[in-house]
Amino acid sequence: MTMTFQPVRSDTLPENTRYADDGCEASRSCLTCPLAMCKYDDPGWVRREDRSHRDDEIFRLRKAGMPVPELSRQFRVSTRTVHRVVQRGGSSRTAVIEADSGPALSLQELAERHVIRRRSSLPSLSLNLQKTA
C-alpha cells in the first residue's frame, strides 16, 4: 500500500514564512532584545516589573521624607496605594521568593484550622510481621 500526500502550498511551510522581526518598545529587534523573557510570552510580566520599580521608588522617596499626597500625585496612584507600598516595604518581589520555600502550613495543620470539617484521626496501621522460613 502506497501513501500519497496531498500537495502543500509553499507559503504554509515554516521555511517559506516571512517572520517580521518588528521588536517592541524594549528593543527594535527580537534578536537583540535585552529582556530576559519576551513580553509577548507573558504579557503581565512587563506590567509587574514596571509596578515593582514604581513601588521601590515610592518606598525610597517616602523614606526620604516626601509627603504621601505628593507621592500620590507624582505616581498617579491613590494615597492608600502609597500607604500599602510603604507598609509592605517597597515591591512585593520577596513574596514570590518566600512562596518558593514551601507551604506555610502542613496539610495536617491546615485540616486542623479548617472551620467546616474537623480533622479525623488517622487510621491505625496493622503490621503483619511474620517470619517466613
Q: Does this model's pTM top 0.85?
A: no
> What's the alpha-carbon Rg for the chain, to the nearest Å?
28
Whole-number pLDDT of residue 97? 42
Q: Which domain holds residue 94?
A: 42-101
On whether residue 1 sits in a domain, the answer given is no
Whole-number pLDDT of residue 95? 45
**Position with higher pLDDT, 29 vs 98:** 29
Using a 10 angstrom Cβ sphere, with 0-12 exposed, 13-18 middle and 19 or more buried, the burial of residue 118 is exposed
Mean pLDDT of 100-126: 59
On whether residue 64 sits in a domain, the answer given is yes
Q: Taking 80 as the threshold, does the pLDDT of residue 98 lie above it?
A: no
Q: Taking 90 as the threshold, does the pLDDT of residue 74 lie above it?
A: yes
Closest among 86, 92, 91 to 66, alpha carbons compared = 86
Total number of domains constituting the chain: 1
